[in-house]
Structure 1
Amino acid sequence: MNIRFIEKKDNFLVKELIQTSLEEVGLAIPGTAYFDPHIDTLYDYYATNKNANYWVIEKNHKIIGGVGIAPFSSDHKICELQKIYVASDFRGLGLSNTLMNTALEYASNYYEQCYLETHSSLEAACRLYEKYDFRLLDKPIDGSEHSAMDAWYVKDL
């Protein structure tokens, strides 16, 4: 397995990973990453945002996971952990930890806090965030875009 930065050629495969993952848990609905405006051009989105990046995990030339970091607010003190997904056949192997470690190490170089939005039904994801000392918030931070999400976390970096 290899973790690397997203390349333009990965756009479709990452979109497919994200959308398939959301379909599997019944969250292929408006207000989730399934319908993000940048879902077709993730490479361009991360390449054109300052202090942003998206990493993929690849095995045998197949994208099996990914995670992104991008600025959340205009003051550039808060980033957002975005689109962390692992293909169902590869869950339980610690790949989410690899993705989290990579993203948070990068984020700590540029930001004071890391924010994320998820759904409370994604229990394994919530446990992962809590393992990494993310604190559950009562409401989203102003500027939130994923209206279908009902769990919001923040971590001091």
Structure 2
Amino acid sequence: MKQIAGFTLRTITAQDNSGIAQVIRTVSAEYGLTADKGYGVADPTLDDMHSVYDQQGAAYWVVEYQGEIVGGGGFAPLAGEPNVCELQKMYFLPQTRGHGLAKRIVALSLQLAKQFGYQQCYLETTECLREAVGLYEKLGFEHLDAPLGQTGHDACEVVMLKTL
């Protein structure tokens, strides 16, 4: 566990499943990212995030504030692309933004992914998440012309990659 500006950053547990799922649904609704349009909020694993990231080559962190889950993010193997991981499920409630938490989770993800032997980190997002796109660009992710792997999403028009 790590404290940042009163927030606690820690590895996801099974008890966090409903809290992080609610954060993802709330933030998705805020930006109009609905399940019927093919965004991550439609993932069948949304209510069991712990199981998704409790596997070899994956990790997920939640952000907690005063006992409530208020954000999170992590990475997992990118299906169909050996040696490439995917930054996934980076969602933060409004009160969580601007404290460097997303930057910290990306840094943790890239560091651990490199230790796991990944050579590149991929991500998909959408233009309406301008702050996220800007952060990824500042952290060295480069825009791609076409998606990689088999993410199961088709609505994210911004695809980016970073060499580890």
TM bracket, shorter-chain basis: over 0.9
SS in 2 for 1:40: helix
Sequence identity of aligned pairs in percent?
Answer: 37
**Residue among 30, 36, 40 paired with 1:33:** 40
Show the counterpart of 1:105: 111
2:154 maps to 1:147: yes
**Residue among 128, 135, 150 paired with 2:135:** 128
- Conservation of the 8 A alpha-carbon contact between 2:81 and 2:148: no
**Residue among 13, 21, 25 paired with 1:15:** 21
SS in 2 for 1:104: helix
Q: 1:95 to 1:142 in 2, by over 3 A?
A: closer
Show the counterpart of 2:50: 43
SS in 2 for 1:114: strand
RMSD of aligned alpha carbons: 1.2
Show the counterpart of 1:5: 11
Aligned residues: 156
2-side partners of 1:144 and 1:13: how far apart?
A: 23
1-side partners of 2:22 and 2:135: how far apart?
A: 23
2:163 maps to 1:156: yes
SS in 1 for 2:47: coil
1-side partners of 2:61 and 2:102: how far apart?
A: 12
Shift of 1:75: 5.3
Shift of 1:129: 0.5
Shift of 1:89: 1.5
Show the counterpart of 1:62: 68
Show the counterpart of 2:3: none
- Conservation of the 8 A alpha-carbon contact between 2:84 and 2:119: yes
- Conservation of the 8 A alpha-carbon contact between 2:8 and 2:65: yes
- The worse-fitting range, judged by mean Cα deviation, of 80-89 and 98-107 is 98-107
Consecutive unaligned residues of structure 1, counting only runs of 5 or more, are none
- Conservation of the 8 A alpha-carbon contact between 2:125 and 2:156: yes
- CA displacement, residues 21-56 of structure 1 (integer Å, 9 cap, x when unaligned): 010001123311111011011101111x31111101
- CA displacement, residues 83-118 of structure 1 (integer Å, 9 cap, x when unaligned): 011111221121111211111111111210000000
